[in-house]
Amino acid sequence: MRLKNIKGAMEYVENSDYVVHDLEKNKGKWNKLFENEENDIHLEIGMGRGKFIIEMAQNNTNINYIGLEMYDSVIYKAIKHLENLEKRPNNLILIRADANKIDEFFEKEISRIYLNFSDPWPKAKHAKRRLTSKQFLNKYDKIFKDNNEIFMKTDNDDLFEFSVQTLIEHGYKLENVTRDLYNNMNIVNVATEYEEKFVKQGITINRLEAYRNGDKWKRRVKRGRFSFPKRKNWEKELKKRTVPFLSLHFWK
């Protein structure tokens, strides 16, 4: 999301209490910035105007949230949203950063990452820029605390199928996978701003949860007890839109 340049947005973001600027200084100790520092930290990368992360923070006071976004004009809108709330959530921090540098300011402290309607970067030559590319998954490995959890939603089928592949190849187990979220509303769902727009247009929403138990999968690969699922099987499964809610358990 790149809004038209808003005059004064940069200064506004710089002076806002909601935004933490000294990123490297907090590496490994972001929890200290929250009132309840023992709570898990969930991070949304590319939060846009912040609708999702703000509602999540309001609904789940036992979790600490960080919303990351790279554009001032967009963060400005998120701050305005927060300023209009009756009660300010004390479990939410916003940061202005490029996700490419994520491992420079987080270290073994994030419990879950949300990727909502991330830019699809459709050209093959830009695949590395997708937030579920191998390059990004390697960076996320450094910032997760114990276990890795990535929750993803997207309207973009190609990005979704690419992500299923990269996540599986990176040792993740996928659960609660759906090609049509709004026909599976047994999931507790907080809609993002983009999501609301797409749903109004009748566009179906893909969603998945990806879990990995730390680095154990690497040890299994080394010992030769690990096998990737046959690619054609999950591709076939994913294309079955008539069975929109899949639970893919590839490893015991």
| Residues with a known catalytic role | 119
Rank residues 89 and 171 by Cβ distance to ligand SAM and give the closer one. 89
Q: Binding residues for ligand SAM, how many (CB under 6 A)?
A: 20
How many angstroms separate the CA atoms of 173 and 115, rounded? 17
**119 part of the interface to ligand SAM, by CB under 6 A:** yes
**72 part of the interface to ligand SAM, by CB under 6 A:** no
Closest residue to ligand SAM using C-beta atoms: 46
Which listed range, 40-48, 54-62, 207-215, 244-252, lies at the site for ligand SAM (CB under 6 A)? 40-48
CB of 124 to ligand SAM, least distance (A): 18
Please check whether residue 29 is in contact with residue 38, taking contact to mean a CB–CB distance below 8 angstroms.
no
Rank residues 76 and 144 by Cβ distance to ligand SAM and give the closer one. 76
Rank residues 152 and 164 by Cβ distance to ligand SAM and give the closer one. 152
Q: DSSP assignment of the chain, as one string?
A: --PPPPTTHHHHHHH-TTEE--TGGGTT-GGGGSSSTTS-EEEEES-TT-HHHHHHHHH-TTSEEEEEES-HHHHHHHHHHHHTSSS--TTEEEEE--GGGHHHH--S-BSEEEEES-----SGGGGGGSTTSHHHHHHHHHHBSSSEEEEEEES-HHHHHHHHHHHHHTTPEEEEEES-GGG-TTS-----HHHHHHHHTT---EEEEEEE-TTHHHHHHHTT---PPPHHHHHHHHH-TTS-EE------
**69 part of the interface to ligand SAM, by CB under 6 A:** yes
The pattern of x and - marking residues 89 through 118 that bind ligand SAM according to CB under 6 A reads ---------xxx---------------xxx
Please check whether residue 173 is in contact with residue 136, taking contact to mean a CB–CB distance below 8 angstroms.
no
**194 part of the interface to ligand SAM, by CB under 6 A:** yes
**65 part of the interface to ligand SAM, by CB under 6 A:** no
Which listed range, 28-36, 62-70, 198-206, 222-230, lies at the site for ligand SAM (CB under 6 A)? 62-70
CB of 230 to ligand SAM, least distance (A): 33
Within 130-189, which residues bind ligand SAM (CB under 6 A)? none
φ, ψ of residue 147 in degrees (nearest 5): -115, 155
Rank residues 121 and 172 by Cβ distance to ligand SAM and give the closer one. 121
CB of 75 to ligand SAM, least distance (A): 9
Residues that bind ligand SAM (CB under 6 A): 1, 46-48, 68-71, 74, 98-100, 116-119, 192-195
